[in-house]
Amino acid sequence: MSAPAAPPGGHSAGASAGSPSIIMHVDMDAFYASVEQVRRPELADVPFWVGGAERGVVLSANYLARSHGVSGGMPSGRALRLCPRGVVVPPDFDHYAAVSASVFALFGTITRKVEAASIDEAFLDIGGSRRRLGPPRLIGEMVRAKVFDEQSITCSVGIAPSKMLAKMASTRAKPDGLLLIGAEEVVAFLHPLPVEQLIGVGPVMTERLHRLGLKTVGHLAHTPLATLRRAFGDRTGQWLSELAWGRDDDPVIEQVPEQSIGAQTTFPRDTDDPGLVRTELLRLSSRVATRLRGAGACGRTVTVDVRFADFTTLTRSSGLGEPSDVTDEIYARSCRLFEALGLQRARVRRVGVRVSRLVPSGSAYRQPTLDEPERGMREAELAADSVIAKFGPRAVQRASLTAKPVDAPFLPPAP
């Protein structure tokens, strides 16, 4: 491919005073749905999606469901109308988080510079990994192979001189593919595309560009910068010009520890039963405590948020006397916060629990009481964590949580 013309007033995309950046964007294909299909092989030939059954939204749909028009973020009711025989699978966020953690641990063997974009996608700066692992395409294919080998799920990989281009490349490679855009291929890749495919250009901006006759990225790139600044303002005009030539100096930011860990539940139907709400607070407190222990962290503050039928939301927080990762301690504080709201049969739509102000478990000092046994609930929960890791999330449960959760599976009627 012949070298493209350089953008006016700048260098080719991704160039710098030293070596050009090499950014990899890895995106798990239909992540939640793919993980569920591994656990439930009988769903391989069935349209299904992960999300709420009677209400809520689709979190992830497999490709058979997508062929019926079902997509992420769609209300579950609409998804069922589009695909009446689709199977609705309740989400298991603990399991998804565990799979994600394993995938990110794999990324860490490739490079130190890993930035999580979400639970199922990440940017990796692999510029410093070439000497050890080989050329970029080989590294990308190795990542895809290892993810599939370890987790039995597929991912799409884009490799390019910048984060924006790498993400666009992984989108083009979906599903289960790899696309590499070399520095000399940037213009040839970008300029034929419609402007709406640029990262950050939404429907409103697309309409404004179309009104000016700018339908492709090439049209945008060859519009004088002064014209773009007059039409969109100095800052936005400059940004559009940079995008059109593939210039993006945004670095990969190394992962930082989570500042809080939480969970929430949307009830299938609004409820005014405080007993049901307390049961869900216990379930959520258990999830949060498990995630805290998995992350090697304890938290100092518990927050409860309650959303009502009219979508108003109340949030209350309270500090713990000592950092904790114990279910009973988080649950007791959550109940106290909920009861302090003084609700009079108010109909609750959603409830959530979050623990923040995290510290490493090893540095969290706990003052024992005189009557405290040598081994308590924390040791019991750590033992349960080990059993669950080996035999699955339902291997050990509290008796009060063995009833069907509010997000239990929904199966459509038999034909």
Tell me the per-residue pLDDT of 136-177, one tens digit each, with 9 for 90 and over. Answer: 999 999 999 999 999 999 999 999 999 999 999 999 999 999
Least confident of 6-10, 39-43, 105-109, 133-137: 6-10
Give the SS3 label for residue 323.
Answer: strand
In order of 120, 147, 166, 190, the CA distances from 170 in angstroms are: 13, 15, 6, 14
Going by DSSP bridges, is the β-strand pair 48-51/87-89 parallel, antiparallel, or unpaired? parallel
396 neighbors 387 (Cβ within 8 angstroms): yes
- This prediction's pTM: 0.62
Confidence (pLDDT) at 361: 79
Longest dimension (CA), the chain: 79
Average pLDDT over residues 41-45: 92
- Going by the annotation, the residues of the binding site are 27, 120
Per-domain boundaries in the chain: 18-185, 191-244, 260-367+375-398
Determine the pLDDT at residue 3: 39
- The pLDDT score that the predictor gives to residue 93 is 80
In CATH, 191-244 is 1.10.150.20:
yes
**Average pLDDT over every residue of 119-137:** 93
Each residue's pLDDT tens digit, 53-70: 655 789 899 999 999 999
175: Cα within 13 Å, side-chain hemisphere: 11
The Cα angle at residue 262 between residues 33 and 373, in degrees rounded to 5: 120
- pLDDT for residue 413: 39
**18-185 CATH pick, 3.40.50.11540, 3.90.230.10, 3.30.70.270, 3.40.50.1820:** 3.30.70.270
What's the rounded mean pLDDT across residues 388-404? 58
Fold (CATH) for 260-367+375-398: Dna Ligase; domain 1 (3.30.1490)
**Catalytic positions:** 121
The binding site for Mg(2+) consists of 27, 120
**In terms of pLDDT, which residue wins out, 258 or 368?**
258
Share of the chain above pLDDT 90, in %: 51
d(CA 274, CA 277) in angstroms, rounded, equals 5
The per-residue pLDDT for 68 is: 95
Least confident window among 71-75, 174-178, 270-274, 403-407: 403-407
In whole angstroms, what separates CA 122 from the centre of its chain?
10
Q: With cut-offs at 50, 70 and 90, classify the pLDDT of residue 379.
A: low
Amino acid at residue number 28: M
Closest listed residue to residue 357, CA positions, set 287, 301, 413, 274: 301
Query: What value does the mean pLDDT take over residues 355-367?
Result: 72
Q: Residue 67 has what pLDDT? A: 94
As a whole number of angstroms, the distance between CA 135 and CA 128 comes to 11
φ/ψ bin of 153: left (φ > 0), alpha (ψ from -120 to 50), beta (otherwise): beta
Q: What is the DSSP letter of 55?
A: S
